[in-house]
Structure formats: C-alpha cells, structure tokens
C-alpha cells in the first residue's frame, strides 16, 4: 500500500469526492422518480439540480490537480452499496428497501460533508481562495441536504413501523 502525500493526496481526495458525488447524482436521479414518499421525492428532486452543479464544480476543480473521479476503495464500496440498494428497491418495491436506499444516500451525503471539510482546511492552508469558497458552499449545502434527508428518513421509519 502506497502512502499518498502532498499533491497525490489532494488528487486522491478530489477523485474520491468526484466518485462519491457521481454516486449521489445517480441515486438522486433514480429516487427522484421512484421514492414512494412524496415529500422525500420532492426534497431529492430539489437536491439533484444542485448536486449536478456540484459534480461539475468538483470535476473542474479536481482537474486542476489531475483528478478525474477515479474510483478507489471507499468510493467504490459506497457506490456499490448504493447501486445494490437501489436495484433491490426498484426490483422489489418494498418500503424497507426504499428506506435502505434512502439511508445509503444519506451516508453518501455525510461522506461528502467530511470531504468538504478536509478540502476546506487544505484550501485555507494553501491559500486557495477559489477552492476555499467552493468547499465552504459545498460543505454547507451537503450539511443542509443531509439534515433534510435525515428528517425525511425518520418520518419514513415511522410510516413503515405503523404499517
């Protein structure tokens, strides 16, 4: 296992953020159409437009560091889990399966919050104001959407529990 430092690490962080963001956009595209809870569907549709823009921003900023969205272990594992839960939800249509897909999407958002926080610290250390401003906005938006998704997920849990 090689240790990444300096520019290699920054590239790795962008690759991971791009790959995870792509998984988020893919999941939101599916759930915006198929989620059985209308309020969750509406929230996800609202996030999708912004998340597509953030994906483009990450790709642009990442390209400056040689990042292309290469899928490594963490992003690959999360992406596979997202894909599996979405496929099961769509093929079986059970509320519990959609609940799981929704929960995995929430985890992807939380992972992006962590990535944004790291990028923000790196940008400040490097005195990169463009990256700093983008990372601040990205972190804020991911936190906001994670909160909305968590609220929707809790409501969905109650709905499923009541039968």
Domain residues for the domain of 154 are 6-162
Query: What's the pLDDT band for 6 if we cut at 50, 70, 90?
Result: confident
**Cβ atoms within 10 Å, residue 75:** 23
CATH number of residue 71's parent domain = 1.20.1260.10
In a domain, 127, yes or no: yes
In a domain, 155, yes or no: yes
In a domain, 153, yes or no: yes
In a domain, 1, yes or no: no
Residue labelled with tokens 């569907």: 41
pLDDT in tens, 43-87: 999 999 999 999 999 999 999 999 999 998 888 999 999 999 999
State the average pLDDT over residues 138-153: 95
In a domain, 54, yes or no: yes
Provide the whole-model pTM: 0.93
In a domain, 108, yes or no: yes
Q: How many folded domains does the chain comprise?
A: 1
Q: How far apart are CA 31 and CA 27, in angstroms?
A: 6
């Amino acid at each position: 296992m090689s240790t990444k430092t300096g520019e290699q690490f920054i590239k790795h962080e962008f690759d991971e953020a791009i790959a995870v963001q792509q998984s988020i956009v893919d999941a939101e595209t599916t759930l915006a159409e198929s989620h059985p809870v209308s309020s969750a569907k509406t929230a996800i549709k609202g996030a999708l437009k912004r998340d597509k823009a953030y994906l483009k921003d990450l790709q642009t900023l990442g390209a400056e560091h040689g990042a292309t969205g290469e899928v490594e272990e963490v992003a690959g594992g999360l992406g596979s889990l997202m894909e599996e839960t979405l496929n099961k939800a769509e093929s079986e249509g059970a509320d519990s399966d959609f609940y799981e897909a929704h929960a995995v999407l929430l985890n992807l958002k939380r992972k992006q919050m962590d990535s944004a926080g790291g990028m923000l610290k790196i940008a400040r250390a490097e005195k990169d104001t463009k990256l700093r401003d983008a990372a601040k906005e990205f972190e804020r938006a991911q936190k906001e959407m994670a909160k909305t998704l968590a609220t929707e997920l809790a409501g969905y849990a109650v709905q499923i529990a009541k039968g």
